[in-house]
Amino acid sequence: MSLIKQLWIAIALVMTLAFGVSMVVSVLSARHYLEQQLQVKNIDNATSLALSLTQLPKDEVTVELQLAAQFDAGHYRFIRVVSPTGKTLVEKIATSHELGAPAWFVKLIPIHAEPGQALIQDGWIQYGTLTLASQDVYAYKSLWDGMLELLLWFVVGSVITGIVGTQLIRIITRPLSEVVDQAHAITERRFVTIKVPRTPELKSVASAMNDMVGRLKTMFNEEAARLDALRKKVNRDAVTGLSSREYFMSHLREAVQGDQFGSSGSLVMVRLLDLTELNAHLGHQQTDALLKDVGTELYNSGNGRIGQRAGRVKGAEFAIVCPSFETAHEAAEDIHEKLTQNVLPKWADRVPELFHVSAVRYHHDQNIGGLLASVDEALAQAASKGPNAWHAVEDGNAKVPVPAEQWRTLLTEAVSGGRLALSFFPVMSGDGTSALHNEGVIRLQTDAAGTLMSAGDFMPMAAQLNLTAPIDLGVVKLAIERLQTIAGDIAVNLSAETIADFHFRNELTQLLKAYPEVCKRLLFEVPEYGVFRQFDAFCDLARNLKVLGCRVGVEYFGQRFAESDKLADLGLDYIKVHPSYIRGLADNPGNQEFLKGLCKVAHSIGITVVALGVQSRDDLPLLTSLGFDGATGPGIQ
């Protein structure tokens, strides 16, 4: 029972007791006063009437008329004249039975007032004895009205006291409510601090809770920092800060064979002079500085370009995956221009022939060995052109780029014409025996034959044309329709551009409110780069979805692990780890240690961890031993 309810019950009991005592004292006191007043009135009226009758003739008619006149005007219960011999000479009795108060009240509190008596004289002879009693109906009515008025005041007082007390308790216990909310937030994997109240008893509780939250956040941040340092050590080149060869190759395979990006892209290769020659010419320290400058420029070239990643694949050889460029020529020219403008001027006097750049176009499911061979051949062509030259090779089977307006028409008609579809892929439990949920991946039907285009092929253009919101809303509607016909849970992906759209978030909320029965079975996930690009919008979206009962997760997690402490307050339900950490995991002890620590930290705040891009069911025992709760990928679909 709440404290406010207990307060109201206490007030009701106290006021009832106070009313009972006050009523008894008040009614008994009033009854005694009224009895005295009635008795005085009876005596006075009897004396006055007897004196009047003494002065009148004593014939029976005159006496009766006088008594009748007095009886009709004086509100008496009875008036009686009795002769000295005991004979009743005249008697008037009231016939009205109106009590002026409920019968039970009259019976409970009787009023006893002695009748008034006086002698009537006829000269020196006693004519008779006059006895009269005034009506007590008005006394009962006065008592009853007084009790009702007292009850009304007590009720009003109780209500006012209860309202004031309720407000005071709410003010006093507001810090306690904040402590309770803070405890609930911890259970929801959100770490929030509250203002310390002035009340000493609550101050100690709030301070203790804040200290606990602070320690939890500190532990989380320290462990996250340790894991990030381990991740960098394992997956980054120590000199340039770029991805190591193993990590870059894993990312390249994901770009070429996975569904995260489009069906085609470009691979750029940058080769400096032989590392031995550079060390001999510049010295080890200057060579490292040159490699650092090149690495920094290649790293910065990916700013604002989703999926673009650079890595050091050999001593003086670098590679860059460029999913967002339409042609290999554009990719090669962009990298060449950045190196020419920002690196070459600093080193041209000492190393005039600094680099060569090549680029080739890749397509989905292309053989990685053949792709690397092609970019090596293109690099030889660049070297034949002279110092600091570049060469690009386009895919002969590449599709002709579609104009933006044609894309707009295609995407708009797809949304309005119902040509969006969902392909479902299971996310299996760690032991591979059951499905945690099904992931709904968007597809676009491009023709009457039912040819489906993957999200990576059309969503980048949808983002450019500001059409992601209606597409994502259509995806959610498809997922809801599916959930109404099947058992199990479905996860859908929202793009970064969509979550930043306030109008979309409102529409999504209204849509989900219309289907409360499926909200607990609907999961929403946003790619990690989108989460940190639109972090405030993602926080708002996550809170709204959690209120509705939906679950929220982050997909392709781990590329920006250094910023993961921002996610500790959101109450995420799950994360899906980027495939670049999963591919080749059996041969990478460093990544195994990193992922084991990641799972441990995530589990400490109640977050489920899922591995993306699993190539074989044979990887499941290793993933389970590291702490993964589930897995998905081409090897287990």
Instruction: Write the burial class of residue 318 (CB in 10 Å: 0-12 exposed, 13-18 middle, 19+ buried).
Output: buried
Confidence of residue 514 (pLDDT cuts 50, 70, 90): very high
**Token match 């108060």: residue?**
101
For residue 201, pLDDT over 80 is answered with no
Distances (CA, A) of 73 to 44, 77, 94: 15, 12, 12
Q: Which residues are within 8 A (CB) of 370 and not within 5 positions of it... i.e. 6 or more apart?
A: none
Distance CA 424, CA 434 (A): 15
CB 111 within 8 A of CB 38: yes
Average pLDDT over residues 601-628: 89
Q: Contact, 465 vs 408, CB < 8 A?
A: yes
Q: What is the predicted pLDDT for the residue at 402?
A: 66
Average pLDDT over residues 539-553: 91
Between the CA of residue 203 and those of 3, 4, 168, 180, what are the distances in Å? 19, 21, 18, 14
Contact 88, 81 (CB under 8 A): yes
Counting residues of the chain whose pLDDT is more than 90, the rounded percentage is 26
Cα–chain center distance at 472 = 21
The CATH fold of domain 3-157: Beta-Lactamase (3.30.450)
What's the confidence (pLDDT) of residue 267? Answer: 93
Q: Average pLDDT of the chain?
A: 85
Backbone angles phi, psi at 408, to 5 degrees: -60, -45
Give the pLDDT of residue 229: 84
- The DSSP code sequence of 519-559 is HTTEEEEEEHHHHHHTHHHHHHHHHHHHHTT-EEEEEEETT
Query: How confident is the model over 624-631, as a mean pLDDT?
Result: 93
Going by the DSSP 8-state scheme, the letter that residue 47 receives in this structure is H
Q: At what angle do helices 468-483 and 502-513 cross, to 10 degrees?
A: 10
Residue 32 has pLDDT above 70, yes or no: yes
Mean pLDDT of 41-65: 85
Pairing type for strands 490-493 and 522-527 reads parallel
Q: What is the pLDDT of residue 457?
A: 78
Q: Kindly give the interhelix angle for 455-464 and 404-416, rounded to the nearest 10 degrees.
A: 110
- Report the pLDDT value the prediction gives residue 295, as an integer from 0 to 100: 93
What is the CATH superfamily name and number for domain 236-393?
Reverse transcriptase/Diguanylate cyclase domain (3.30.70.270)
pLDDT in tens, 369-392: 888 999 999 998 998 888 899 999
Q: Give me the residues paired with residue 453 across strands.
A: 444
Q: Write down the domain spans for the chain.
A: 3-157, 236-393, 404-631
Task: Please list, in sequence order, all residues whose beta carbon lies within 8 angstroms of the beta carbon of residue 27, skipping any fewer than 6 positions away.
Answer: 109, 143, 146, 147
Element (H, E) at 325: none
Q: Name beta bridge partners: 557.
A: 577
For the segment 214-229, the average pLDDT, to the nearest whole number, is: 79
Return the structure tokens found at 616: 């074989």
Angle, vertex CA 384, rays to CA 378 and CA 386, nearest 5: 120
| pLDDT value of residue 90 | 86
User: What's residue 609's pLDDT?
Assistant: 93
Query: Structure tokens of 322?
Result: 């460029």
pLDDT of residue 187: 65
Rounded to whole angstroms, how far apart are CA atoms 249 and 508?
38
SS3 state of residue 208 = helix
Which pLDDT belongs to residue 99? 65
The per-residue pLDDT for 98 is: 66
What is the arithmetic mean of pLDDT over 522-526? 94
What CA–CA distances, in Å, run from 207 to 157, 177, 187, 613? Answer: 38, 14, 18, 45
| Residue tagged 């006086």 (tokens) | 118
Query: Residue 437 — very low, low, confident or very high, per pLDDT cuts 50/70/90?
Result: very high
Which tokens hold the place of 496? 């970064």
Mean pLDDT value of segment 92-97: 75
| Listed residue (555, 549, 554, 594) closest to 570, CA to CA | 554
Element housing 172 (H / E) = helix 137-187
- Nearby residues of 535 by Cβ (< 8 Å), 6 or more positions away: 566
C-alpha–C-alpha distance, residues 441 and 445, integer Å:
13
User: pLDDT band at 587, cuts 50/70/90?
Assistant: confident
Write down the pLDDT at residue 228: 82
Question: Residue 128 in contact with residue 83, Cβ under 8 Å?
Answer: yes
Instruction: Specify the pLDDT at position 6.
Output: 76
Q: How far is CA 490 from CA 285, 354, 405, 472, 554, in A?
A: 54, 52, 33, 14, 15
Predicted pLDDT at 524: 95
- The pLDDT, as a whole number, for residue 401 is 59
Q: What angle do CA 476, 479, 485 make, to 5 degrees?
A: 150
Structure token pair of residue 498: 């969509």
Q: What is the pLDDT of residues 307-360, one digit of tens each?
A: 899 999 988 899 999 988 888 999 999 999 999 999 999 998 888 888 999 999
- Return the closest-CA partner of residue 635 out of 595, 577, 583: 583
Q: Which residue has the higher pLDDT, 522 or 401?
A: 522
Q: How far apart are CA 588 and CA 275, in angstroms?
A: 26
Q: Quickly state the pLDDT bin for 50 (edges 50, 70, 90).
A: confident
- CATH architecture for residues 404-631: Alpha-Beta Barrel (3.20)
Q: Express each pLDDT in 134-163 by its tens digit.
A: 887 888 888 888 888 888 888 888 888 878
**Tokens representing 349?**
């006097």
Helices 404-416, 468-483: axis angle to 10 degrees equals 30
- Compute the average pLDDT of residues 613-623: 89
What is the rounded CA–CA span in Å between residue 250 and residue 253?
Answer: 5
Query: Buried b / exposed e across 145-174, counting CB within 10 Å, b at 16+?
Result: eebeeeeeebeeebeeebeeebeebeeebe
Read off the pLDDT of each residue in 200-221 and give the average, rounded to a whole number: 76
pLDDT at 2: 65
Q: Around 416, how many Cα atoms within 13 Å sit in the side-chain half-sphere?
A: 7
Residues 78, 91 contacting (CB under 8 angstroms): yes
User: How far is 379 from 392, CA to CA, in rounded Å?
Assistant: 9
Contact yes or no for 637/426 (Cβ under 8 A): yes
The encoded tokens of residue 455 equal: 């999200």
The gap from C-alpha 623 to its chain's centroid, in whole angstroms, comes to 31
In this prediction, residue 412 carries a pLDDT of: 86
In a 10 Å sphere around its CB, with 0-12 CB exposed, 13-18 middle and 19+ buried, how is residue 13 labelled? exposed
pLDDT tens digits for range 230-285: 888 888 888 998 999 988 998 898 888 877 777 788 999 999 987 888 888 888 99
pLDDT value at 193 more than 80 = no
What residues have CB less than 8 Å from 57, skipping those under 6 apart? none
Percentage of residues in the chain with pLDDT exceeding 70? 94
User: DSSP H helical segments within 305-367, as ranges?
Assistant: 328-342, 344-347
Phi (first) and psi of residue 573, to 5 degrees: -95, -30
Q: What is the mean pLDDT of residues 533-558?
A: 90
